[in-house]
Amino acid sequence: MSDLILHHFDLSPFAEKVRLMLGLKQLSWRSVEIPMVMPKPDLIALTGGYRKTPVLQIGADVYCDTRRIARELERRFPSPSLFPQGGGPLVEALSAWSDRVFFDPGAGLAMGTNQALIPAPVLEDRKAFFNFMDFANLEADLPHLYSQVAVSLDLVDRQLESGRDFLSGDAPGLIDIQAYFPLWMLRGNVARTPELVAGRARLLAWEQRMQRVGHGDRRPCTSAEALAIAQQATSTSESAVDPKDPLGLAAEDRVTVTPDDYGRVPVDGALVGLSTQDVSIRRHDDRAGTVVVHFPRGGYRIDRVNG
């Protein structure tokens, strides 16, 4: 099988989510460092416009969004599982809590408590990108954001009440990673984090256990090498479009796939796969060759391109 290549940057919380999945599964992977802000020409050559961090490349298959990446890692490397106690669908559903309810106010705090320190190009980029953040009122909103983060920290702490080591039992799983990555972001960016977790001994012990999950075996890779790998590879994805899908699409239909939240850049291609949970499209780029780009369906719009 081709190498796993993660396109990411070290400070990215969503990338930390995937690095921990790779660590939990004790996988070897290659790391391409991408820019924190646009432009990202080498990433866009692979994705066709999707700019968020991280993206996982396996040969000529390009997986966008941490939820799609989790499903693919679990499919290709089932053991050790991201769901050691089962319950996968519920854990996937809980990404609506971790990735939005917990992450968004944490990101607001990371921005709002550091606005004066954030380099201007990053601040300008994120002002345009994070459409859910009211940058003009972030400072006034800090008490509200602290209260929102406290809601989630309290839930995690209370889930550990029974004395279990991890949120659903004795072994770490995706639910722990989902709950941990916003705390990882707070630690790195919000000076008052020690106060937010003070007195929560169970949470602190769990946090240390999560740090020990690690990142697996990481080796460097350049973006030029990653593009050459894509260029020489052929996608291993099967073409399968559900004929009963409500959108009424067929294989090879030209469509765009667009995140419905923030970073709403459409990716244009020929439909390859469409199931209840996943969508994939084929596209060509002079430098990346012919690639298949994969997205989850939850939180993404698929639109037919006429003509």
Ligand X SMILES: N[C@@H](CCC(=O)N[C@@H](CS)C(=O)NCC(=O)O)C(=O)O
Q: How far apart (Å, rounded) are the C-alpha atoms in residues 294 and 292?
A: 6
Burial class (CB in 10 A: 0-12, 13-18, 19+), 284: exposed
Shortest Cβ distance from residue 158 to ligand X (Å)?
A: 25
* 110-118, long-range: CB < 8 A, 24+ apart: 110/185, 110/186, 110/188, 110/189, 110/190, 111/135, 111/138, 112/138, 112/139, 112/141, 112/142, 112/145, 113/142, 113/189, 113/190, 113/191, 113/192, 114/189, 115/139
Task: Report the C-alpha dihedral over residues 52, 242, 281, 17, rounded to 10 degrees.
Answer: 30
Total residues contacting ligand X (rule CB under 6 A)? 12
Peptide bond into 39 cis (omega under 30): yes
Query: Which residue, 42 or 289, is less far from ligand X as judged by CB?
Result: 42
b or e along 40-53 (b: 16 or more beta carbons within 10 Å of the residue's beta carbon)?
A: bebbbbbbbbbbbb
Query: Which residue, 20 or 160, is less far from ligand X as judged by CB?
Result: 20
Residue numbers 73-112 binding ligand X by CB under 6 A: 99
Q: Which amino acid, one-letter code, is at 162? A: S
Please pick, from the candidates 51, 71, 282, 297, the single residue that binds ligand X as defined by CB under 6 A: 51
Shortest Cβ distance from residue 299 to ligand X (Å)?
A: 7
Comparing C-alpha atoms, which of 131, 138, 173 is closest to residue 263? 131
Select the span of 62-70, 86-94, 200-208, 228-236 touching ligand X (CB under 6 A): 62-70
Query: Which residue, 108 or 289, is less far from ligand X as judged by CB?
Result: 108
Q: How far apart (Å, rounded) are the C-alpha atoms in residues 91 and 105?
A: 21
Element (H, E) at 79: none
Shortest Cβ distance from residue 130 to ligand X (Å)?
A: 8
Q: Is 19 in the site for ligand X (CB under 6 A)?
A: no
Q: Is 13 in the site for ligand X (CB under 6 A)?
A: yes
DSSP string, 252-302: T-EEEEEESSSS---EEEEEEEE-SSEEEEEEEETTTEEEEEEEESTTEEE
Q: Is 65 in the site for ligand X (CB under 6 A)?
A: yes
Shortest Cβ distance from residue 49 to ligand X (Å)?
A: 12
Select the span of 45-53, 114-122, 237-245, 280-288 touching ligand X (CB under 6 A): 45-53
Q: Is 42 in the site for ligand X (CB under 6 A)?
A: no
Q: Is 12 in the site for ligand X (CB under 6 A)?
A: yes
Query: Which residue, 12 or 235, is less far from ligand X as judged by CB?
Result: 12
Please pick, from the candidates 47, 53, 168, 193, the single residue that binds ligand X as defined by CB under 6 A: 53
Query: Which residue, 60 or 110, is less far from ligand X as judged by CB?
Result: 110
Window 127-166: contact mask with ligand X (x via CB under 6 A):
--x-------------------------------------
Residue numbers 20-39 binding ligand X by CB under 6 A: 36
Select the span of 59-67, 151-159, 219-227, 265-273 touching ligand X (CB under 6 A): 59-67
* Chain positions contacting ligand X, by CB under 6 A: 12-14, 36, 51-53, 65-67, 99, 129
